[in-house]
Chain A
Amino acid sequence: MPPSRSPEAAAAGFPARLAARIRHWPREWARRRQGPDPEPVALHRRRVYILPTALGAGFGLSLFGMLLAAMNYNNSMAFALTFLLAGLGLVAMHWSHQNLTDSVVRGLHLGPAFAGGTARLEMVLENPGRGRRYDLEAAVDGTRSAPADIPGGRSARLALELPAPRRGRLRLERVKVTTDFPFGLFRAWAWLHPDCTGVVYPAPATHPPSPPGGGPEEAAGRWDENRGEDDFAGLRSFRPGDSPRRVAWKAAARGDELLVKQFAGSPRGAAWLDWESLPGVAPEGRLSILCRWVLDAHAGGERFGLRLPGTEIPPGLGTAHRHRCLAALALFPGGDGPADG
């Protein structure tokens, strides 16, 4: 597979491109060597790489200077100091490597994002061993998670926010799990190549026109109390004017937020958000406006459907419906994909 170069790298000078290529090569080598990773991924010894950091290189140089001083002055104690530090360095290298080796990654999940925002990548890192592991981080292209310490037999959740610049599918090429524990002299890392994609919705328009045939505002807060309770569609936040009968008291008792039941059978507010109702707007602009309408309709508890060229999503309610509509916008013109986000 050829390296997919970002426009920034292409615009940069030759040294930067060369550096990018040099960085790229070992990653591709690791990918070919390891293949794709079905979960859970155990980070075996053979896939944990390690190199000294800049600090580690400085440490090595210092040790060399100390060794020269010890040899020149023929000073036994200077030899002792140099060799003790060298021993510590070697031990640190093994420690760093083993701090990562044999841990297990599972539950990789890339959440949805709006274009220009960030997508949240979550994963669970397990420590199946007896000893504690320290300062483990996940990283994707320079974005790092907060470091986690994992006691023996336990697991930790690592999360990081990935930039999602463009609408569409966000494919996770590789994830790095890394540590420079104990002294920052060495950095050990492992590449993961999970089969993991996320959806990037269009950026919602900031000043959208009103949807045709009555916006969600007109329908908001008015519910027929006697009809349409046959089809439970989900929960939404309580807003003033909601009937106490619709409040989901059990769910409310669990959390601190007051939630209201929504039903798909509600007769009012069934609006069609239609691509064709925005003539004269560029396709990306239309997607942006439709995205905003979907968000508003969902926030308003509105039943809504979405019509795109080649795709029609019948009216519905709830978070799953919202995601389905937004994913259809994200992947347009690719139809409403299986939107697994």
Chain B
Amino acid sequence: MADPLVLRLGWMLLALAAAVVPVAMRLPPWITGVFLAAAAWRYMAARRGWDLPGRWLRLALALGLVAGVLYSYRTLNGLEAGSALLVAMGAMKILETRARRDIQVLAFIGYFLVLTQLLYDQPVWSLPWLVLTVAAITLALLQGVRHGPPLSASEGMGLVGRMLAFAVPVALVMWVLFPRVPGPFWALPSTGASGLTGLDDEMSPGTVTRLIQSDEVAFRVSFEGEVPTNALLYWRGPVLERFDGITWRDGERWPLRTPAMRLQGEPVRYRMVIEPNGRPWILALEYPARWGDGDILLTHEFQLVTRQPLENLRAIDLVSFPFAVPETALGEGTRLRLTRLPGGRNPRTVELARELMRTAGSDAAFVNTVLARFRNQDFVYTLQPPPLAGAHPVDEFLFRTRRGFCEHYASAFTVLARAAGIPARVVTGYQGGELNPVSNRVVVRQSDAHAWSEVWLDGQGWTRVDATGAVAPNRVELGIAEALPAGEALPGAVLRGVPLLERLRQNWDALNTLWTDWVLGYGPERQRAFLDWMGLPGADWRALVLGLTLFVAAVMASLAAWLAWQSRGPGADPALRAYRRFCAKLAAAGLTRGPAEGPRDFAGRVAAARPELAVAVAGITDEYLALRYGPEPDPARLRVLRQSVSSFRP
């Protein structure tokens, strides 16, 4: 047999590899390299009996690794640098692993690696990965701390499997019932989910087009009741009010003080599960009226924002009124601010707007005139617009290229409206979404990103004007995939063309929706909803803790019973049990068998005392003696013995 240390190390290195693989995908390659090299070297050293590096060498290596992490990330803080540091420290620990204690520390490092990965990302596969990796590390820990020789693989796996069979129900109960509290208690270092795609708080030609290239899910929505038509699905994101001639930027945001919305029409109730986007936007359906989260506020631009950027998946229940009329009055200062344009920029556009306003006569007529112009002239909706490089991009777009994407149309329309003296602004967000027939949920992807305009019409308030809809009506009514000209495709569109793959994709997506909705989105609200459904409405945290304790105690009691059954003997012979029952019946009738009295003597005494029982007693005694002391007990005779004992009435 191989050296036990080699076996123990081997188990732990394998388990750590399972923990490191997903973490390594987002680490600089050199850290993974160091980890692999340390593991390989330590394993060979154990096999060949090489000396381990001395303390000073290890210290120097450790300092070097810390410096390397610091160089790669410019910080030691945060999830990213933290997990890099954890992997590096794991490599160092592997180098000095000699004893039980080192193996234990390695197991703890493994558990924490799993934690950092889960904090970073939680796709569907992370659950089986979590269970398998924890099982592997636990098995390696079991092998590592053994005093005796390592267990065989099957015996060790059997043990860990049986332990998990009891630990998983405990975990499930705790997961469901542990009181979930909203919000972070203190600002932790950002999970550093950098490189997240999502809407920005500024827009210039090309920004939305770039976002469209991503097939990633932005958020998922489940509607209570009917799913509204595509044309109503305007998911409101940042509202951009400042324009420098090229780029639209977000102004200040302040909370809406007065309820400046006239709610009308049918409300839409829905639940959003928003993927982390690193921004504080909640992309509510226009116009949000109620939301069940104290951390969220509505800005004066009717945008929902959170106090903290969305670093984690967030589930929110909302009510929106698509037909509400926002803001019934506009201050003079605001009117001035929202009709301002940078001087000397896009002069031909300004000229055109004034001319159109003169002929139109009213603000509403002006809007229609501009939209008719987009519709009737040779404007093209395309994902590949020619670049607008000059100082007057709106002029260039309106009079020369006439090929653009939603941001071009929204920007051009808003500039025209402002030039005509109509308060106007750009709204970015998402439009539409894909209804998954399997899960009956709407999935909104980055490719559904959109930009539109809002103009202030006296007597009507803020009115949405989607200039893109004038050029490509299908964009609003059917979604972006239908609106693009032939030859231009969205990512993932090829897959959508094949029916079988499309069904698979929809099922996968439905699974993802369930996952995000019920597993990742299981927070305070979901917990309350679940308890309501269980028939425990209004259960407070005390009730939860009580229920939790009771359930866990029940699982532990079953474990204790099973373990006790395992550790007790096989128990008394069935024939002996039946005979004891028989003796107990006689004892109840006043005939107690003496401690040294043989069955035959006892039968004789009973027969003498109660002659009417003699036959039955003799029969039972004979059967018992035959089963107990005869050769090869016969199951049929055992049944006879049991029956006669059962029917025995002294």
Q: Does A98 contact B (CB under 8 A)?
A: yes
With A81-B114, A129-B569 known as contacts, the answer to whether A88 contacts B181 (CB < 8 A) is no
Given contacts A77-B127, A84-B134, contact A102 B147 (CB under 8 A): no
Interface centre among B131, B147, B170 (most CB of A within 10 A): B147
A80-B175, A183-B142 in contact; A75/B118 too (CB < 8 A)? yes
Give the residue of A84, A95, A128 whose beta carbon is less than 8 angstroms from that of B131: A84
Chain B nearest CB from A101 CB (Å) reads: 6
Cβ B568 vs Cβ A102 within 8 A: yes
Contact A87–B168 (Cβ < 8 Å): yes
Task: Check: B534 CB closer than 8 A to any chain A CB.
Answer: no
Q: Which of A77, A101, A130, A131 has the most CB of B within 10 A?
A: A77
B145 interface residue (CB < 8 Å to A):
yes
Tell me how far the C-beta of A73 lies from the nearest C-beta in chain B, rounded to whole angstroms: 6
Least CB distance from B271 to A in Å reads 16
How far, in whole Å, are A62 and B107 apart by their CA atoms in the complex?
A: 12
User: For chain A residues 102-147, which have a beta carbon within 8 Å of chain B?
Assistant: 102-103, 127-131, 133-135, 137, 147
CB within 8 Å of A: which of B110-125? Answer: 111-112, 114-115, 118-119, 122
Least Cβ–Cβ distance between B101 and chain A, in angstroms: 8
Q: Give A266 to B126 CA distance when docked, in angstroms.
A: 85
- Asked if B171 and A83 sit within 8 Å, CB to CB, the answer is yes
A88 vs B191: C-alpha distance in the bound complex, in angstroms? 27
Find out whether the CB atom of B178 lies under 8 angstroms from the CB atom of A83: yes
Measured in the bound complex, the distance between the Cα atoms of B570 and A127 in whole Å is 12
Query: What chain A residues lie within 8 Å of B569 (beta carbons)?
Result: 128-130, 153
Q: A71 near B185 (CB under 8 angstroms)?
A: yes
Shortest distance between the CB of A81 and any CB in chain B (Å): 6
Q: Mask for B544-588, Cβ within 8 A of A = 1, else 0?
A: 000000001000100110011111111000000000000000000
Contact partners of B131 in chain A: CB under 8 A:
84
User: Which among B148, B166, B520 is the interface contact of A91 at CB below 8 angstroms?
Assistant: B166
Answer whether residue A72 sits at the interface, using C-beta atoms and an 8 A cutoff: yes
B170 with A76: CB separation less than 8 A: no
Known: A62-B108, A72-B184, A81-B134. A94 touches B175 (CB 8 A): no
Asked if A248 CB lies within 8 Å of chain B CBs, one says no
Task: Give the interface SS of chain A, mostly helix, strand, loop or mixed.
Answer: helix
- Flag whether B513 is at the interface (Cβ < 8 A): no
List of A residues within 8 angstroms of B559 by Cβ: 91, 94
CA distance A148 to B560 in the complex (A): 23
A133 to B522, CA, bound (A): 41
Q: How large is the interface on A (under 10, 10 to 19, 20 to 34, 35 or more residues)?
A: 35 or more
B563 x A98 contact (CB < 8 A): yes
Q: Does B279 contact A (CB under 8 A)?
A: no
Check: A18 CB closer than 8 A to any chain B CB: no
Let me know if A69 and B119 touch, CB within 8 A: yes
- Is B112 a contact partner of A74 (Cβ separation < 8 A)? no
Which of A58, A79, A181, A184 has the most chain B CB atoms inside 10 A of its CB? A184
Complex CA–CA separation, A73 to B168 (angstroms): 23
Q: Is A50 among interface residues, defined by CB-CB distance under 8 A?
A: no
Contact A83 B104 (CB under 8 A): no
Residues of B with C-beta under 8 A to A86:
170-171, 174
- Which A residue sits closest to B107, measured CB to CB? A183
Closest residue on chain B to residue A86 by CB atoms: B174
Tell yes or no: B448 within 8 A of A by CB: no
Q: How many A-B contacts at CB < 8 Å in the complex?
A: 167
- Closest Cβ of chain A: how far from B135's Cβ, in Å? 9
B566 x A130 contact (CB < 8 A): yes
Look across to chain B and name the residue whose beta carbon is closest to the beta carbon of A71. Answer: B181
Interface of B is mostly: helix
Q: How far is the CA of A130 from the CA of B570 in the complex (A)?
A: 7
Q: Does A90 contact B (CB under 8 A)?
A: yes
B303 within 8 A of A: no
Docked CA distance A92–B170 (Å): 13
Residue of A nearest to B133 (CB): A81
**B138–A88 CB distance below 8 A:** yes
| B146: nearest chain-A partner, CB-CB | A135
Chain B residues contacting A95 (CB-CB under 8 Å) are 163, 563
In angstroms, Cα B296 to Cα A53, docked, is 45
Which A residues are CB-close (under 8 A) to B183? Answer: 74
Query: What's the least CB distance linking B220 to chain A, in Å?
Result: 15
| Contact with B519, one of A76, A133, A183 (Cβ below 8 angstroms) | A76
Contacts of A147 in B (CB 8 A): 147-148
> Is B454 at the interface (CB under 8 A from chain A)?
no
Q: Tell me the complex Cα distance, A99–B146, Å.
A: 14
Cβ of A84 and Cβ of B118 under 8 Å apart? no
In the complex, B443 has a CB within 8 A of chain A = no
Q: Is B100 an interface residue (CB 8 A)?
A: yes
In this assembly, does A78 line the interface, its C-beta being within 8 Å of a C-beta of chain B?
yes
B312–A74 touching, CB < 8 Å? yes
Given the interface contacts A76-B122, A81-B115, A84-B131, does A101 sit within 8 Å of B175 by beta carbon? no
Beyond A66-B115, A135-B146, A184-B100, is A81–B130 a contact (Cβ under 8 Å)?
yes
B403 partner residues in chain A, CB cutoff 8 A: none
Is B167 an interface residue, CB under 8 A from the partner? yes
A52 to chain B, nearest CB (A): 13
Q: How far is the CA of A340 from the CA of B533 in the complex (A)?
A: 73
Chain A residues, CB < 8 A from B464: none
A44-B113 Cα distance, complex, nearest whole Å:
40
B495 close to chain A: CB less than 8 A: no
Q: Mark B175-206, 1 if CB is under 8 A from A, else 0.
A: 10010111111101001000000000000000
Q: How far is the CA of A69 from the CA of B552 in the complex (A)?
A: 22
Query: Which B-chain residue is minimally distant from A132 (CB atoms)?
Result: B155
Q: Are A135 and B148 in contact (CB under 8 A)?
A: yes
CB proximity of A147 to chain B, nearest CB, Å: 4
CB of A309, distance to nearest CB on chain B (Å): 50
Give bound CA distance, A45 to B186, whole Å.
45
Partner of A101, one of B159, B191, B564, B570: B564
Closest to A135 in B: B147
> Within 8 Å CB of B568, what residues of A?
102, 128-130
B164 interface hit (Cβ, 8 Å): yes
* Residues in B neighbouring A148, C-beta threshold 8 A: 148
Find out whether the CB atom of A87 lies under 8 angstroms from the CB atom of B170. Answer: yes
Given B104, B519, B556, B570, which contacts A184 in the complex, CB threshold below 8 Å?
B104
Question: What residues of A have a CB within 8 angstroms of the CB of B172 in the complex?
Answer: 83
The complex places the Cα of A128 from the Cα of B519 at a distance, in Å, of 45
Contacting residues, chain A, for B175 (C-beta < 8 A): 76, 79-80, 83
Taking CB atoms, residues of chain A closer than 8 Å to B567 are 98-99, 101-103, 127-131, 133
Q: Are B566's CB and A98's CB within 8 A?
A: yes
**In the complex, what distance in Å separates the CA atom of A340 from the CA atom of B521?**
72
- Residue pair A182, B163 in contact (C-beta under 8 Å): yes
| Distance to closest chain A CB from B190 (angstroms) | 10
Is B383 part of the binding interface, using a Cβ–Cβ cutoff of 8 Å?
no
Q: How far is the CB of A53 from chain B (nearest CB, A)?
A: 10
* Closest chain B residue, CB of each to CB of A130: B566
Q: A58-B108, A80-B175, A102-B564 are in contact. List 20 more A-B contacts (CB 8 A).
A: A55-B101, A62-B108, A69-B119, A72-B186, A73-B188, A76-B122, A76-B521, A77-B118, A77-B122, A79-B175, A81-B115, A83-B170, A87-B169, A90-B556, A129-B566, A130-B565, A135-B146, A135-B148, A148-B148, A184-B145
Please report B residues at the A interface, Cβ cutoff 8 Å.
100-101, 104, 108, 111-112, 114-115, 118-119, 122, 126-127, 130-131, 134, 138, 141-142, 145-148, 159, 163-164, 166-172, 174-175, 178, 180-186, 188, 191, 311-312, 519-523, 552, 556, 559-560, 563-570
Measured CB to CB, the residues of A under 8 A from B are: 45, 55, 58-59, 62, 66, 69, 71-81, 83-88, 90-92, 94-95, 98-99, 101-103, 127-131, 133-135, 137, 147-149, 153, 180-184
Q: Can you give 19 contacting A-B residue pairs, CB < 8 Å?
A: A62-B111, A72-B184, A73-B311, A74-B182, A75-B119, A75-B122, A76-B122, A77-B127, A77-B130, A81-B111, A83-B170, A83-B174, A90-B556, A98-B567, A128-B569, A134-B148, A147-B147, A182-B159, A183-B142
In the complex, the 8 A-B pairs of residues with the closest C-beta atoms, listed nearest first: A87-B167, A87-B170, A147-B147, A131-B566, A129-B567, A98-B563, A83-B171, A83-B174
